[in-house]
Amino acid sequence: MKFFVDTADTAAIAELNELGMVDGVTTNPSLIHKSGRDIKEVIAEISAMVDGPVSAETVATDYETMVKEGHEVAKLGDNIAIKVPLTWDGLRACKHLSGEGHMVNVTLCFSTNQALLAAKAGATFISPFIGRLDDLNLDGMDLIADIRDVYDNYGFETQILAASIRSANHMSDAAKIGADVATAPPGVIKKMAEHVLTDKGLDAFLSDWAKTGQSIL
């Protein structure tokens, strides 16, 4: 499973990228707002930092303007995935932009039917929002599993990009189900390395080592 980092924090991206943990980056208007930076400036910087796809979101709601904004953000790097919402106009924009050879990430997916439409429209990525479904007492992982089944049934090449990841468990669950990509905040990716038994075992090793009075250096 590929790891995309869901942030506009370039320092956090650089740290994870050095470890080989960044296969791509996703951004959205909320993350750009949080960064306090100009959208074009930060997207171009991120695009130059990583080799994989960088999702840059359009903010228009109508088809014509969405396409124009898509063309504008595509200029910011050769690895830009134009992000459009899963609305009828968004699907029209996806069809148009993907037909021009652009990568397109269709976001805000909450149903299998929506994911099926996005694949038919030529989406490179479909972004089902796990956490937001969980907030409604629905199991977001069920949606990932259903989309996986449908895409596999018909050989759709659209990649399932598990989004709205809230925990390290979400990451492992998405991987077990077969999501192609999971996008998560930097803190969640770091949490994947943590385990209480690892900490306990390390403490025991260090305690015993101190008793030997030895030094490796």
Task: Give the residue numbers annotated as catalytic, written as ranges.
Answer: 83
Are the beta carbons of 107 and 70 closer than 8 angstroms?
no
Give the residue from 114, 54, 94 showing the smallest Cα distance to 78. 54
CA 127 to chain centre: 8
Give the tokens for residue 113: 């039917």
Amino acid at residue number 32: I
Return d(Cα 132, Cα 86) in angstroms, integer: 15
Say if residue 93 is exposed, middle or buried (CB neighbours under 10 Å; 0-12, 13-18, 19+): buried
Instruction: Tell me phi and psi for residue 5, to 5 degrees.
Output: -100, 125
Are the beta carbons of 127 and 120 closer than 8 angstroms?
no
